[in-house]
Amino acid sequence: MRISLCPLAVLAVLGRQYATAGVVGFPEDKHAAVERFPTSWTRHVGAVTSHSAGSAKTSSIHRRDDDEKKKSEDAFDDENHTGISAETASTAPTANQELPNTSIFDWLQNNNVPNLCFFATAARLLRTTTEEVLRRSGLAQPGGGVGDGLTREDTILAAQRLGLSFSYYTLRGRQEALGPGPDRNPHCRWNTVAFPRHGSPREMGVTYVTSRGTLHIVVARNPGTPYATFRDYLRDPNGLDVTREVLNSHICEYIYVDFGASSGSWVQSRRPQVQQMNREAQAETQRPPPAQPYEPVPGMTVDPVSGGVDFSSLNPDLNNRINTNSLTPSQCDVLLLLGFAYSSSQLGRRSISSAPSQEEKQKVHADSCSKLRSLVKPYNEISSLCSKITSLDLYFELSTKFGAGTYDYIQATLAGPAGKHTEPIAYDPDAGFTKTIPIDLKKAFGSAVIDLHGIHTVSLADSGAFWKAIPNGMFNDKWKVKDISLRAKCITPGFQVQNDILAKPTWYQHPTAWLWKPYTWADVATINVTQANWHMTPPCTTISKLEYEFKIADKMTAGTDDAISLAFQQGKREIALGENVSQGYTKKDTIPLVDMFGTSRVQLRDIKEIQIMEEYRTLIFSDQWLFQGISLTATCADMPKQVKLAKFEHVNKWLGDDSTKVVWTGKVLLEDWMTVRAT
């Protein structure tokens, strides 16, 4: 085992429980001990730095409601934000961790961690020098250079005297239902996961697994964005650029100074400097992305705005090399990183998410190439099945917020290679107004079939009504749009696509409101139709797993003494659902595809009919029962997505009153399968 150079020095001081952790290290073969498929980041709020007993609240940030997301996004984007602890909405219960007295510092010493690591990282996050932190802590600079001779007691004393507290993010493992995961075994993920940037400053400490298999702490600027850079202030006081190294490593934790929990007056006095640091970091994101620290993949085209790669418009040769597994592991890593950077920028935010997890270096590369193929696959499916569309609808929805309606006229203009067409949307609509507008393709664009990518923009225009100004003086007021979507039927029967073109609810108003010109039409917005945002339903043609859920209604006498089974029109066998079952009976199970269909990969269009069979167990007369419904859930074979057939969930029909073995039949169409989630 090799002990790390600077493993978790700051983090242990921040309140992590390592009392029973022992020595943490990595095997000599340099394979990082990382968690496979952890499910969420967890924020530890207001961790206590004192050596006296205390606790640190933790909360999952894997899922949050829209209001919480908005607040946290604003916090990150606020140039004055420093980092103040706050509760975060969570689907998992919070948990408290007891802070051990001095055992965490003993743990640091047992791992040969330089005590200077704490001082160097804290200094940068407070935008000061290591010497200043030492001085403010009342510690003299030892002879032989800063850091030599610093002891465990010095670190404890500094934390107390400074009144310094941190918050930090860790990964919670899949099997860990409560609180943070890596109390004893750090969960580290490949860097393309990045961190959820919400509610934290733009400069943070980062713990990562180096190429040597050790843990190290550096400082990240603009983490979770295409502009992220990483610098090592322990090896170089001016900050050694280690961006390339970190981008090819596993991220374990993110740390920042929690001004809401820190009690020291000097720490609080550093707020203006930290705010200035955030402003400088934010300014960097307003410029074109910096030169990327990677070797370009032959054939890839980098988007000049986001600095990423659009998976929906890959070079054909590169696309073929991805699907035939002809790329090197490092090339897969680069494309994953740039692909997430592009898709995040198109959604109106720059965080990177949903990347592969790995247990060690070789598995990292194998998983990253597999993940890359699964991400490119949907675009290939769309290209082959939906390159052209036969119908197009424009969906428009106003927010339900007070004042979101308008007294004005609203219209939309669709434009692109297919042509240009304007449709009226509404006049004097109220808040919450919704409308789906079918576009006559032949009339609008001269053809009943157009290219999927034939529409590049949707422009909104506004005009006041002249007569409205006389009785009440209201015209050209603001209005708020909640959603705008394009929905189309593919040229391949059974497939549909949708593009949600509005990134977030937005207020609009006539550009010359309250002047004479408001009575004429004027554009208030032009929204790009991003090609990568087209999503197809169903998203795949082939499935590798099929599950069912069968229900009998929970009503008096709804059960039956008979034997009930499930079959498919193309199936080779029946599946027993139950016998002598009572009201409210439910059964969920997986259908053996090979036994049922003769193959482990089934075409969705081959599932055409579901049959419910019944065998009587009564001697004289049939036993009626109330069939509530059945649903099917399928997992796509070549991409991490699931589809669901829910049209028969609420049949609610009495069956078993005749002698036919097949007592119910449900016809299945390809368009009945709806995307439910990514796996």
388-537 is classed in which CATH architecture? Sandwich (2.60)
Q: Which of 94-103, 125-134, 248-257, 418-427 has the highest mean pLDDT?
A: 418-427
**Averaged pLDDT for residues 458-468:** 81
Distance, CA of 193 to CA of 338 (rounded, Å): 12
Q: What are phi and psi of 268, to 5 degrees?
A: -65, -30
CB atoms within 10 A of CB 269: 10
Which uninterrupted H or E stretch holds 104? helix 103-110
The dihedral sign for the CA sequence 645, 647, 650, 654: negative
Is residue 439 over pLDDT 90? yes
Structure tokens at 591: 């259908």
pLDDT tens digits, one per residue of 277-291: 888 888 887 766 555
Class of residue 15 by CB neighbours under 10 A (exposed 0-12, middle 13-18, buried 19+) = buried
Q: Is the peptide bond before 296 cis (omega within 30 degrees of 0)?
A: no
Q: Provide the CATH number for the domain formed by 542-678 in this structure.
A: 2.60.60.20
**Averaged pLDDT for residues 192-199:** 52
User: Which part of the chain is CATH 2.60.60.20?
Assistant: 388-537, 542-678
Strand 522-528 versus strand 434-439 pairing type: unpaired
Q: What are the C-alpha distances in Å from 218 to residues 209, 251, 284, 300, 378?
A: 11, 11, 19, 30, 37
459, 458, 457, 461: which is closest to 510 by C-alpha? Answer: 461
Structure tokens at 672: 């009945």
**What is the predicted pLDDT for the residue at 578?**
92
Helices (H) and strands (E) in the chain, counts: 14, 34
Structure tokens at 496: 């549909």
With a pLDDT cut of 70, the percent of the chain lying above it is 65
pLDDT tens digits, one per residue of 329-381: 878 888 887 787 676 555 433 222 233 333 333 333 347 788 888 888 888 88
Q: Are 360 and 34 in contact (CB under 8 A)?
A: yes
Compare 646 and 354 and report the one with higher pLDDT. 646
Split at pLDDT 50, 70, 90, the class of 294 is low
Compare 84 and 468 and report the one with higher pLDDT. 468
**Reported pTM:** 0.54
pLDDT tens digits, one per residue of 218-255: 899 888 777 888 998 878 888 888 887 787 677 777 87
Strand 203-209 versus strand 166-172 pairing type: unpaired
C-alpha Rg value of the chain to the nearest Å? 30
Class of residue 247 by CB neighbours under 10 A (exposed 0-12, middle 13-18, buried 19+) = buried
DSSP-assigned beta bridge partners for residue 55: 98
Which uninterrupted H or E stretch holds 488? strand 479-490
DSSP-assigned beta bridge partners for residue 26: 2
Distance, CA of 192 to CA of 39 (rounded, Å): 15
Q: Are 434 and 397 in contact (CB under 8 A)?
A: yes
The dihedral sign for the CA sequence 572, 573, 574, 576: negative
**What is the predicted pLDDT for the residue at 603?**
93
Q: How many CA atoms lie within 13 A of 656 on its CB side?
A: 23
**What is the predicted pLDDT for the residue at 354?**
32
Q: What are phi and psi of 660, to 5 degrees?
A: -75, 135
Q: Are 176 and 95 in contact (CB under 8 A)?
A: no
**What is the predicted pLDDT for the residue at 248?**
67
Q: What are the C-alpha distances in Å from 342 to residues 294, 301, 317?
A: 16, 11, 20
**What is the predicted pLDDT for the residue at 371?**
82
Split at pLDDT 50, 70, 90, the class of 388 is very high
Rounded to a whole number of angstroms, the distance between the first and last alpha carbons of the chain is: 36
**What is the predicted pLDDT for the residue at 97?**
37
Least confident of 208-212, 254-258, 274-278: 208-212
Q: Are 108 and 5 in contact (CB under 8 A)?
A: no
Q: Which of 27-41, 470-484, 628-642 has the highest mean pLDDT?
A: 628-642
116, 96, 97: which is closest to 20 by C-alpha? Answer: 97
The DSSP line for 343-391 is HHHHTT----------SSHHHHHHHHHHHHHHHHHHHHHHHHH-SEEEE
Least confident of 147-156, 199-208, 314-323: 147-156
Is residue 30 over pLDDT 60? no
SS3 content of the chain, % helix, strand, coil (to 5): 25, 30, 45
Q: Are 108 and 51 in contact (CB under 8 A)?
A: no
Structure tokens at 295: 């070797």
Average pLDDT, the chain: 73
Q: What are the C-alpha distances in Å from 447 to residues 73, 101, 397, 441, 450?
A: 43, 76, 28, 6, 7
Distance, CA of 573 to CA of 666 (rounded, Å): 17
Is residue 98 over pLDDT 50? no
> What CA dihedral angle connects 582, 583, 588 and 594, to 10 degrees?
60
The dihedral sign for the CA sequence 129, 134, 140, 142: negative
Least confident of 20-24, 454-458, 514-518, 656-660: 20-24
Q: Are 32 and 190 in contact (CB under 8 A)?
A: no
Least confident of 61-65, 99-103, 129-133: 61-65
Using DSSP's 3-state secondary structure scheme, residue 437 falls into: strand
**What is the predicted pLDDT for the residue at 470?**
52
Split at pLDDT 50, 70, 90, the class of 315 is confident
Longest dimension (CA), the chain: 101
pLDDT tens digits, one per residue of 482-499: 999 999 999 999 999 999
Least confident of 18-22, 449-453, 529-533: 18-22
**What is the predicted pLDDT for the residue at 181?**
37
The dihedral sign for the CA sequence 292, 294, 295, 299: negative
Least confident of 266-270, 271-275, 293-297, 353-357: 353-357
Length of the chain: 679
Compare 102 and 668 and report the one with higher pLDDT. 668
Q: Which of 47-51, 110-114, 334-338, 563-567 has the highest mean pLDDT?
A: 563-567
